[in-house]
Amino acid sequence: MEIDIVERLITTVGFPIVCVLGLAYFIYRSYQTINNDNRDREAKLYEMLGKTQAQLDQAQDTNAKFISVLEQINHDTDQMKADIDDIKDTIKKLPKRKTDTPEE
């Protein structure tokens, strides 16, 4: 604004009203700037949340695969324990052999 317009407004409506109008305009522009900044910030935040969600979904799928593999390993380990117990029982049931002692 030019100085003569401000001077005319002050003489027409008074200094307090011009100050209030100037401050109102300042507040309005500040509010617009803050809203635009918030909108941009929120857009970036939602984008990051989307990427994070995709990574969490991928991690969940990977964990599910690990659980499946661990369950299979646990099953195989239990089967090996049972087989070892069977082998022990079979060895215990075998007739004992006399061990040959070397002749002196």
Q: Is residue 102 domain-resident?
A: no
Would 40 be classed as within a structural domain?
A: yes
Report yes or no on 15 lying in a domain: yes
Per-residue pLDDT tens over the stretch 50-61: 999 999 999 999
- For residue 104, is it within any domain? no
The string of pLDDT tens digits covering residues 27-44 is 999 999 999 999 999 999
* 10 Cβ contact list (under 8 Å, min separation 6): 18
Q: How many domains does the chain have?
A: 1
Residue 33: give the domain boundaries: 3-89
96 within a domain of the structure (yes/no): no
Domain assignment present for 99: no
Residue 30 CA to residue 91 CA, distance in Å, equals: 89
pTM metric for this prediction: 0.51
Model confidence at 1: pLDDT above 60:
no
Q: Is residue 55 part of a domain?
A: yes
